[in-house]
Amino acid sequence: MTFIPSQKQLEMVLQRLSGFENPSASLEQYQTPAGIAAAWIWSMHMQGEVEGKVFADLAAGPGILGLGLLLMGAKKVHFVDIDEKTIITAKENLKFIEDLAKHNNAGLGEAVFHNVDVQEFDLKVDCVVQNPPFGTKQKHIDKLFLETAFKIAPLVYSMHKITTEKFVVAISKDYEFRIESLQEFKFSLPKTMKHHKKRIEYTQVGLWKLKKVEK
């Protein structure tokens, strides 16, 4: 059960979480905006896809997606990230939502942290959520994340630049996953790195819901 009564309330809680302390350009570390994360998780909640389920949050960063899932009643979330510093931030954010849950006399599911490369993570889960690097700095890195997700879960929610739609469609077909839905969002990129010229930039992203085809 969750003590969060609305999508707006979820967004307000997620806004209070710490983001990347020193975001890495090479790892393409961009925080998922709280508004997008809340809309994403609330939609899953309304479809009965969260409560009592086990998740992997790949490229978890400071943990906004996985922590949102725990707030909405997930049984367990595996937070997977190659960057040790962001795992530390995610653990600090977990402490914040644990205190919040305690204050509301509510329980919270289990959080497990994995400081590993995504290709090393092979635990089976009910669902993967991920906002992986877009592949601007490391070519085909988004492919590695999708391949891992398809191997460990029958249901995958994955966010990518909308311009990569053909690629997402093709790789999903290769792994026998069908596209259940596609939501588009305007993703804000604040000036957090040296190469950023504007105070804030926007890019159009897609959130794909991908489900394993049952034979």
Per the structure, the count of domains in the chain is 1
In this predicted structure, the answer to whether residue 26 has a pLDDT above a threshold of 80 is: no
pLDDT at 119: 94
Residue 207 lies in a domain: no
pTM of the model: 0.90
The domain spanning residue 12 has which CATH number?
A: 3.40.50.150
Residues 158-184, mean pLDDT to the nearest whole number = 96
Residue 103 is classified by DSSP as H
Residue 181 lies in a domain: no
In this predicted structure, the answer to whether residue 192 has a pLDDT above a threshold of 60 is: no
Place of tokens 């049952």: 214
Number of Cα atoms under 13 Å in the Cβ half of residue 201 = 11
pLDDT band at 9 (very low <50, low <70, confident <90, very high): very high
CB atoms near residue 140 (< 10 Å): 9
Place of tokens 């307000």: 12
Residues 196-200, mean pLDDT to the nearest whole number = 58
Residue 2 lies in a domain: no
- Quick: pLDDT tens for 114-127: 999 999 999 999 99
Q: What is the mean pLDDT of the chain?
A: 90
Listed in sequence order, the DSSP H helices in the chain are 7-14, 34-46, 64-71, 84-103, 141-152, 165-174
Residue 18 lies in a domain: yes
Residue 101: give the domain boundaries: 7-158
* Residue of higher predicted confidence among 181 and 194: 181
pLDDT at 193: 46
